[in-house]
Chain A
Amino acid sequence: MALAYLLLTLHLAAHAIGVTAALVARGAVGRGLVAGSGLVGALAALGLGSVCLGAGLVPTLSATFLPLTGFALRIDGLSAFFLIVIGMVGAAVTVYGFGYSAAYEGRYSLRLLGAMLNVLLLSLSVQVMADNALTFLLAWEAMSLSTYAMVLTEHDRPGTVRAAHWYIAITHAGFAALVAMFLLLSAGELTTSFAAMRSAALTPGARDAAFVLALVGFGAKAGIAPLHVWLPMAHPVAPSHVSALMSGVVIKMGVYGLLRVTIDLLVGGPAWWGGLILAAGTISALLGVLYALMEHDLKRLLAYHSVENIGIIFIGIGAGLMFQSYGLTTLATLGVISGLYHTINHACFKGLLFLGAGSVLHATGTRNMEEMGGLIKRMPRTALFFLIGACAISALPPLNGFASEWLVFQTLLGGSAIPQPEVAVIMPIAVAMLALTSGLAAACFVKAFGITFLAIPRSREAERAHEAPRSMQIGMASLALACVALGLAPFVVVPALGASLAGLGGVAPSAVAFTPALSLRVPGTSGQMSAPLLALGLLLLMGLVPVALWILGADRRLRVGDTWGCGRIGQTPRMEYTATAFAEPLRRVFAELYRPTRDLSIDFHPESKYFVQSIEYRSEIHPWLERLLYDRPLHGLHRAATWVRRLQGGSLHLYLLYLTLAFLALLTAARWWR
C-alpha cells in the first residue's frame, strides 16, 4: 500500500514538475524536461495501476480543498486498468514527443504544448481515479481543454481552428450531458460521491435517463457514431504524438466512463441498454471503416479507424450488458473483458500507428497518401513498426488485435444463450457486421501501408524522406513491443482484466475462470485459442521453409530487374496504383452509402472521338449522414438566432414595448396567482 501511495505521489509530482518546466525552460532542455517528467509520471501511473491490480489494492485519497464536494480519489480495479493504459501510451508518447516537437521550435508555442501534455496526462489519471462527480468532471474538462489547446498548436494551418472548434463543441455538449447525468445519479446527495450513487434509490425513468445521458456524453468523447464527426477533423490536425494520445487514450475515457456508470454506479440495467450500446457500436464500427477506406489523408484514415475500433469495444461491452440483464453473468463478464481487452489493444496499436503516421509526416511534410510511396526503403524502422501496427489493427494473428477481436466474437457467439430468439438474433447480425468490419479494416490497411510505404515514391518529398530521430523510434518501438506482448499473452491479460472488474456490481468476475495454461479458453461458449503456440508455430514454419528449400536443393539465384509493364520500358510513379484506385471496387460496392458525386469531362481529339486529349475526373464523398444529423439542426439554430437577433432591432419604442408587456404579464400573473 505504501508503494501505491508513493507511486501516486510520484505521478502527481512528476506531472506538476512537467507543467512548471514547460512554462519555464526553453529549447532542447525544456523539451527534455517535459518529456522526462512526462515519462516519469506516465511510468508511475503504469506502476501504480500494475501494483494495485496485481495486489488487489484499493487505495483512496481525499482532500477537502475542492469546494462543494471535496477532492476524492479511489483506485479500484477498473481505475487501475485504465491507469495502465494511460501509463503505457503516455510513456511512449512523451518520449516520442521529445523528438517530434523539435520541429516546432521557434514556430509554435512549445511552452503551451509541453504544459498541456502534462496537464492532459494528469487529468486522465485523476479522472479514472476520481471518486466523486465534481472531481471527475473537473478532470474531464481539464482533459478536454488541454487537448483542445494542443489541437490548436498548428493554428496557422487551414482547418485547424475549425477542427478544434468542432471538437470542443461536441465534447462540451457531451460534458453538459454528463453534468446532468451525474446530478441525476446523485439524487440530491450533495457530496456527489460515487459511493452514494451506487446506493441511491432511483426511479426506473431516472435510471434510463441517466443511462441515455451517459451514452451521449461518453459517446461524444469516445467518438461513437453519429457523434464521431470531430474525430476525423481534430485528430489529423493535432501534433502527431497528441493524436496518438487522443486516439489511444482520450477517447477511451468515454469507454471508462460508460463502464463506470453502467456496471458500477447503476449496477447494470435492462436489456435495451446493452442493445443500444451494441447497436451504436456496430454502426460505428462499420461506418468508421467504410469512411476510412475512402480517405487519402493518412491521419484522417487512422481517425476513422478509431471510430471503428471504439465501435468494436462498444460491441463487446454492449453484448456484456445484454447478457448481464438476462442473468448470464459469465458471458456478461466475458463481454466486458473483451471490450476492455480491445481498449488496451487499440490504445497500443492506434498509438503506434499515429506515431508512425507522425514520423511519415515529419519526414515528408504531407499527410496525403497519394504523394507517398517507397518509404519502406527510406525509413525502414518506421515502416516495420507501422506494419506491426497495421497487422494488429487488422486483427491478424498472433498480434493483439486478433486476441481481443477473437474474444469479442466468442462473446457474441454466446448470444445463443439468450432465451428470447427475437433478441438473440441480434447477435449473429452483430457477428456478421463485425466480420465485415474486420475484413474491410484489413483491406484498408493493405491500402494504407501499401500505398504509403511500398513501391516507388510519388513525390519529391517522399523521395527525400528520412528516418525518424532516435527518440521517436523508441516511442514507436515500445508500443510495437506492447502490441506483440499483448497479443502473445492473453492468458495473462484476461485474468488481469477479470481482476480489474472485481467489486463492480454489474458483473461477477468470479464466475469466469480462465485456464492459466498457454491457451485461452472461453467457458460457456467453449472456444480455444493459444496465441503463443500459434506464434511459435508460425515462426518455426517460417524458419523451416527456407531450410527445407535449401535441403531440397531449390535454386537460390536471384536477379533484380524491372517491373513488368506490358513491354513498356521505364516505370514511372504515375503508372502505380493509387489509394483512390485501390478503394474503387469497394466504393462501387457501397455506392449507396457513399453517394459519391462524379464529375467527368473528356476532351476529344478534334479529328476523331476515338482519341482522347485529356480526361478530368473528379469525385467526392460527402458524409450525407452527418449532413442530415448536423446541418439541419445547425441551420435551425441559426434561424432561431437570426430571429432572436431581430428582437434587438434598434427601436427604442419596441424596447419599451417589451418592458411594458413583461410588466403587464407579470402584473396579471401576480394578481391572479394562487
Chain B
Amino acid sequence: MDSLFSQLCVLGSSLVLIFGLILLWRRGVTAYISAFTWQSIVLSAVAVVVAYFGNDHELYWVGACLLLLKGLVIPRLLKRMERRFAAERELDPYVNTATSLVVSGLLVLFGYAITRPLVALSQLPTRAGMPLAMGLVLVSLFVVISRKKALTQVVGFLMLENGLALLAVLGTYGIPLIVELGVFLDVLMGFLVMQIFIYQIHETFESIDVEQLNRLRH
C-alpha cells in the first residue's frame, strides 16, 4: 500500500518535473502553455493521490482548486494573450537548448543535494518526491532567467509556484487549507496584475520582448 503510494508520488513528481524540462527544448509559446497546463493537471492528480492515500480530505479541495485555477483558468487566459501577441510567437532564448538541458540537469542534482536532510528527516511515504519538487523550483528559476518574452517569464513563474505547491503537498500533505486558499487568491490576483502589465508593455513598447525594458539603469 505504502509502496504503491510512494511510487505513485514519485511518478507524479517526475512527470511534473519532466513537463518543466520539456519547456526547455520546445519553442513557441503554445508549447509552453500546454506543457504548463499538463503539469498543473498532473500536480492536481498528485494532490488527489496524496489525499486518498494520506487520508487527508482537505487535499481534495486543494487538488480541485489546482485543477480549476492552473489547469483551466490560467491556461485560458494565457492562450488569449498568446493569440493577441501572435506575431511574437517565435522564441529566442539567451541560452541554447543543449546548454539549457545540461544546466537544468545540474540544477536538479543540486536540488537532490540540498533536500537530503529533508528526505532524511521525513517519515512520510511521499518524501522521495521532494527532491524533484526542489529541482523543479530551480529549473523554473532558470527558465525565468533565460527566456526573453514577458509571457514565457510568466509561465516560468507559474511553474515555480507549481514546484512549491508540490513541495508542500509531498512534504506536509499541504499547508492548512485556509492558508492555501489565501495563496490561491494571491496567485490569481498576481497573475491578473501581470497580465495587465503585459498588455501595458505591449501598448507602450509595441512588443512583449523583455529585452527592451532597459531604459532604467544605474
Binding site for B on A (CB under 8 A): 645, 648-653, 656-657, 659-660, 663-664, 667-668, 671
Contact = CB atoms under 8 A, between A and B. Distances in A.
A648 B218 contact: yes
Interface stretch (B34-42, B141-149, B192-200): B141-149
Contacts of A663: 141
B214 A649 contact: yes
14 contacts: A648-B217, A649-B217, A650-B213, A650-B217, A651-B214, A652-B153, A652-B210, A652-B213, A653-B146, A656-B144, A660-B142, A664-B110, A664-B138, A671-B113
B102 interface: no
Contact of A660 (B114, B116, B141, B218): B141
Nearest to A671: B114
A663 B107 CA distance: 12
A656 B110 contact: no
Contacts of A667: 110, 114
B148 to A, nearest CB: 8
Interface in B137-167: 138, 141-142, 144-146, 148, 153
B145 A657 contact: yes
B18 to A, nearest CB: 21
Given A645-B218, A664-B110, A653 B145 contact: yes
B206 interface: no
Given A664-B110, A671-B114, A650 B214 contact: yes
B216 interface: yes
A656 B94 contact: no
Nearest to A649: B217
Contacts of A671: 113-114, 116-117
Contacts of B215: 650
Contacts of B148: 653
B90 interface: no
Contact of A656 (B145, B211, B214, B216): B145
Nearest to B210: A652
Interface string B179-218: 0000000000000000000000000000000110111111
Q: 7 tightest CB-CB pairs across the interface, nearest first?
A: A650-B214, A650-B217, A645-B218, A656-B145, A671-B114, A660-B141, A657-B145
Nearest to B217: A650
A645 B215 CA distance: 14
Interface of B: 94, 110, 113-114, 116-117, 138, 141-142, 144-146, 148, 153, 210-211, 213-218
Contacts of B210: 652-653
B216 to A, nearest CB: 6
A659 B157 CA distance: 14
Contact of A653 (B94, B117, B217): B94
Nearest to B213: A652
A660 B160 CA distance: 13
Contacts of A648: 217-218
A59 B117 CA distance: 65
Given A650-B217, A657-B145, 4 more contacts: A649-B214, A650-B214, A653-B210, A671-B117
Contacts of B113: 671
A498 B110 CA distance: 73
B105 to A, nearest CB: 15
Given A649-B214, A653-B210, A660 B145 contact: yes
Q: Is the interface of B mostly helix, strand, loop or mixed?
A: helix
A659 B153 CA distance: 15
A651 B145 contact: no
Contacts of A660: 141-142, 145
B94 to A, nearest CB: 6
Nearest to B144: A656
A651 B211 contact: yes
B140 to A, nearest CB: 10
A434 to B, nearest CB: 51
Nearest to A647: B218
Nearest to B107: A664
A656 B218 contact: no
Nearest to B142: A660
Contacts of A659: 141
A649 B216 CA distance: 8
B6 to A, nearest CB: 24
Contacts of A657: 145
B55 to A, nearest CB: 33
A493 to B, nearest CB: 58
Nearest to A646: B218
Contacts of A652: 153, 210, 213
Contacts of A656: 141, 144-145
A382 to B, nearest CB: 53
A669 to B, nearest CB: 11
A651 B117 CA distance: 36
A462 to B, nearest CB: 51
Contacts of B116: 671
A363 to B, nearest CB: 50
A604 B146 CA distance: 72
Contact of B216 (A650, A664, A668): A650
Interface centre among B213, B214, B215, B218 (most CB of A within 10 A): B218
A671 B110 CA distance: 11
Nearest to A668: B114
Nearest to A642: B218
A652 B141 CA distance: 13
Contacts of A645: 217-218
Contacts of B218: 645, 648
Nearest to A652: B210
Contacts of B114: 667-668, 671
Contacts of B110: 664, 667
A645 B113 CA distance: 35
A41 B214 CA distance: 59
A667 B138 CA distance: 11
Nearest to A641: B218
Nearest to A670: B114
Nearest to B211: A651
A640 B217 CA distance: 17
Contacts of B153: 652
Nearest to B115: A671
B120 to A, nearest CB: 12
Nearest to B218: A645
Contacts of A650: 213-217
Nearest to B214: A650
A667 B112 CA distance: 12
Nearest to A656: B145
A553 B214 CA distance: 97
Contacts of A668: 114
A651 B213 CA distance: 7
A667 to B, nearest CB: 5
A659 B142 CA distance: 11
A653 B143 CA distance: 10
A659 B156 CA distance: 15
Contacts of B144: 656
Contacts of A653: 94, 145-146, 148, 210
A423 to B, nearest CB: 54
A664 B135 CA distance: 12
Nearest to A653: B145
Nearest to A657: B145
Nearest to A659: B141
B200 to A, nearest CB: 15
Contacts of B211: 651
